[in-house]
């Protein structure tokens, strides 16, 4: 299952249906129409959604309609929010508008970390992967950086900003998948 993560301040807007999209900068997310995603906000899984579409454009091409779907009152408010989340934002920055439909609200929010790796701690995954797997050089460096930094957030900042978290998360997911395949780790949920 795919995951979409949001700042905690967006939980209410998502659950009320006011926020039905998100704009992400950088690389295109690995999402396609029909994909089911787990929605996270403020460190908690809050519900499930289905991706309706993913549209790529520049920040300069974003519209008021994009902003409304994303829960903002105007394009200008959306741009201000993007600038608060990303280091470099200008009209030529590549943006991906991800439109989703909420299909399930969780009665009680669940810690996001319980879902990401089936209840396994990222630190444990990184340690076991470095010990037992023949990792690519990039994954090895990312997992070592994560362990040295002590947190995903600190490691992402060392890589250049919070928008680099996906690199570490992807390495952890690949490592966990291989550890699970080899029977070294398994679900704890």
Where among 74, 90, 111 does a domain terminate? Answer: 111
Query: Rounded to whole angstroms, how far apart are CA atoms 125 and 167?
Result: 15
Structural domain count of the chain: 2
- Mark 86-123 as b/e (b = at least 16 C-beta within 10 Å): beebeeeeebbbbbbebeeeeeebeebbebbbeebebe
Q: What is the pTM of this model?
A: 0.64
Q: Are residues 90 and 139 in the same domain?
A: no
CA distances 133 to 93, 147, 177, Å, are: 37, 16, 11
Q: At what angle do helices 122-132 and 165-181 cross, to 10 degrees?
A: 60
| pLDDT tens, per residue, the chain with 189 residues | 788 989 889 999 999 999 999 999 988 999 999 999 989 888 788 999 999 999 999 999 999 999 999 999 999 999 999 998 888 899 999 999 999 999 999 877 666 655 667 767 788 999 999 999 999 999 999 999 999 998 888 898 899 887 888 899 899 999 999 999 999 998 765
- Residue 188 included in any domain: no
**Are 160 and 175 contained in the same domain?**
yes
């Amino acid at each position: 299952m795919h995951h979409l993560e949001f700042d905690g301040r967006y939980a209410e807007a998502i659950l009320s249906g006011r926020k039905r999209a998100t704009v992400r900068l950088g690389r295109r997310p690995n999402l396609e129409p029909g994909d089911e995603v787990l929605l996270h906000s403020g460190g908690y899984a809050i519900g499930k959604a289905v991706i309706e579409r993913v549209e790529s454009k520049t920040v300069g091409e974003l519209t008021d309609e994009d902003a409304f779907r994303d829960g903002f009152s105007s394009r200008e408010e959306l741009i201000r929010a993007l600038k608060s989340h990303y280091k470099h934002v200008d009209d030529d920055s590549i943006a991906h508008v991800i439109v989703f439909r909420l299909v399930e609200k969780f009665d009680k929010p669940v810690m996001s970390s319980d879902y990401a790796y089936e209840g396994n701690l990222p630190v444990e995954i990184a340690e076991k992967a470095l010990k037992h797997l023949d990792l690519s050089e990039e994954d090895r460096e990312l997992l070592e950086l994560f362990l040295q930094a002590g947190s995903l957030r600190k490691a992402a900042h060392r890589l250049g900003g919070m928008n680099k978290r996906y690199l570490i998360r992807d390495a952890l997911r690949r490592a966990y998948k291989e550890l699970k395949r080899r029977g070294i780790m398994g679900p704890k949920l």
